[in-house]
Amino acid sequence: MAEKNLPMREALRAALHEEMVRDERVFVMGEEVGAWQGTHRVTRGFLEEFGPKRVRDTPISEMAIAGAAVGAAMAGLRPVAEIMTINFAFLAFDALINHAAKIHYMFNGQFRVPMVLRAATGWGNQATATHSHTPEPVFAHFPGLYVAMPSTPADAKGMLKAAIRDDNPVLFSEVIALYPKPGPVPDDPDFLIPIGKSDIKREGDDVTIVTIGRGVEWSLQAAESLAKEGIECEVIDLRWLRPLDMEPVIESFKKTNRCVVVEECLPHFSLGSEIAAQIQEKAFDYMDAPVKRVSAMDVPLPYARDIELMALPDTQKVINAVKEVL
């Protein structure tokens, strides 16, 4: 199949577009998705093409956006609801956690909630404390919800399409900084990346780097740089925080005996915490060094650029961490 070079936002747009064409039940709803053409331009042109029934602007009502998506999904539609940024998803937390994630279980399988909640995530340019969250591990805490976080345009497309076609609720986190980054994207309208499937983005024997989202970029850059010193890193992009694809991680760890977890999220009860815990549970006798975590610092993000950057992970921090476990 042919490929196109697309930025991630266009890959997401293509995924949504294809699914809306494929399935009448799929519709988008959210703040500024229609007339405004999408805050992040992912739904550009949709209102004109699909009309207001399937491209639904909402009031600024995160509780109702998420909650109505739950109801519509239960009733048989396949809503793709958008929360403008994940920072506002805290307002939708109850709908997502107490409702979307619980309803199938709580009523013993009588209802399904095939919804996707898209949200833009990650720290921006001095967006400050309330607008700089990367809180996906918080959402991934709860069984019943899937959490996706793609790192490349192709993954973004395949994962979003899989999420829309799945009968479970999915929180789909899109890293703002990655929206403009281009990459090859398959044209195939049935190109799907299965729910919960990780991807080895680079192979190596010395250290396993486990990462997701924006961390993939830093990790690959670090691996590139370390390779010049003869250190070969294996970079595993988890792609989904739930389900968590641990098997390849453990397999890789048994080979390298060392692991660095790279994430944009905060360190407390984070992806790093979970990976470290599972490695010591499942591969204790293969450890050559403690699992090292690279994450944001445990502070709210400030405004001033100088100190904002200090608090955040970057390629150099990944390189340093890899060297610390060697």
Partner 1 sequence: MAQPIKMPQLGSDMTEGTLLNWLKNVGDQISSGDIIAEIETDKATVEVPSEVSGTILELIGKPGDTLTVGSVIGYAGEPGEQPPSGGADQAAQDNGAAPAQQEAQPAVETAQAEPAPQAAQPAAAAAPETADGNLPDGVKASPIARRIARERGIDLRQVKGTGPNGRITRADVENFTPEAAPAAAAGVAIPAATYGEIPSGPDVEIIDTSRLRSRIAQRMVQSKQQVPHFYVTTEVDVEAMLNLRKQLNASVTDDAQKVTVNDLIVKATALALRQYPNLNSHFYGDKIVRHKRINIGIAVALEGGGLINVVAKDADKTALGTLAAQNKEMIARAREGKVKPDDVQGSTFTVSNLGGFDVDVFQAIVNPPEAGILAVGTAKKVPVVNEDGTIGVGHRMKLTVSVDHRVSDGAEGAEFLQALKALIENPMRLVL
Partner 2 sequence: MATQKVKVDKARLLDWYRQIVLIREFEDRCDELYREKKITGVYLHLYSGHEATGVGAVAALQEHDHVITAYRDHGIALARGVDPNPLMAEMMGKRTGVSGGKGGSMHLASREHNFWGGYAIVGGHLPLAAGIALESRYNNKDAVVLCFLGDGATNNGYFHEAVNLSAVWDLPVVWLIENNLYGMGTPVEVASGQPELHKRAIAYGIKDAGRVDGQNVVEVYEAASEAVEYARKNGPVLLEAITFRYKGHGVSDRAYSERVEELAQWQARDPIIVTREILTGRFKNVEAELDKIDAEVKTIIDRAVEYAENSPAPTYEDLIRNVYVEDANG
Annotated catalytic sites, by residue? 62, 131
Identify residues 242-271 at the interface with partner 1 (CB under 8 A): 257
Going by C-alpha positions, the residue among 197, 160, 169 that lies closest to residue 11 is 160
User: CA of 114: how far to CAs of 22, 81, 146, in Å?
Assistant: 16, 11, 11
Q: Which residues contact 159 (CB under 8 A, 6 or more apart)?
A: 148, 150, 172, 193, 239, 240
- For position 144 contacting partner 2 by CB under 8 A, the verdict is yes
- Our CB check for partner 1 shows the closer of 86 and 291 to be 291
- Our CB check for partner 2 shows the closer of 198 and 211 to be 198
Give residue 154's identity as a one-letter amino acid code.
Answer: A
- For position 177 contacting partner 1 by CB under 8 A, the verdict is no
Give residue 71's identity as a one-letter amino acid code.
Answer: G
Selected range binding partner 1 among 64-72, 266-274, 280-288, 295-303, rule: CB under 8 A:
280-288
Selected range binding partner 2 among 55-63, 178-186, 222-230, 277-285, rule: CB under 8 A:
55-63
CB 89 within 8 A of CB 119: yes
- Our CB check for partner 2 shows the closer of 51 and 184 to be 51
Partner touching 257 among partner 1, partner 2, none, CB below 5 to 8 Å by kind: partner 1
d(CA 321, CA 270): 17
- Beta-bridged to residue 136, according to DSSP, are none
CB 241 within 8 A of CB 138: no
Identify residues 152-181 at the interface with partner 2 (CB under 8 A): 165-168
Going by C-alpha positions, the residue among 153, 149, 154, 68 that lies closest to residue 115 is 68
d(CA 224, CA 27): 41
Total binding residues for partner 1 by CB under 8 A? 10
- As a whole number of Å, the CA-based R_g of the chain is 19
Selected range binding partner 2 among 41-49, 50-58, 202-210, 220-228, rule: CB under 8 A:
50-58
The one among 80, 83, 89, 195 contacting partner 2 by CB under 8 A: 195
The one among 202, 289, 311, 314 contacting partner 1 by CB under 8 A: 289
User: CA of 198: how far to CAs of 86, 156, 249, in Å?
Assistant: 23, 13, 9
Q: What are phi and psi of 103, to 5 degrees?
A: -65, -40
Selected range binding partner 2 among 7-15, 93-101, 271-279, 291-299, rule: CB under 8 A:
93-101
- For position 58 contacting partner 2 by CB under 8 A, the verdict is yes
Q: What is the binding site for partner 2 (CB under 8 A)?
A: 27, 53, 56, 58-59, 61-79, 94-95, 98-99, 103-112, 114, 143-144, 146, 165-168, 195
Binding interface with partner 1 (CB under 8 A): 257, 284-289, 324-326
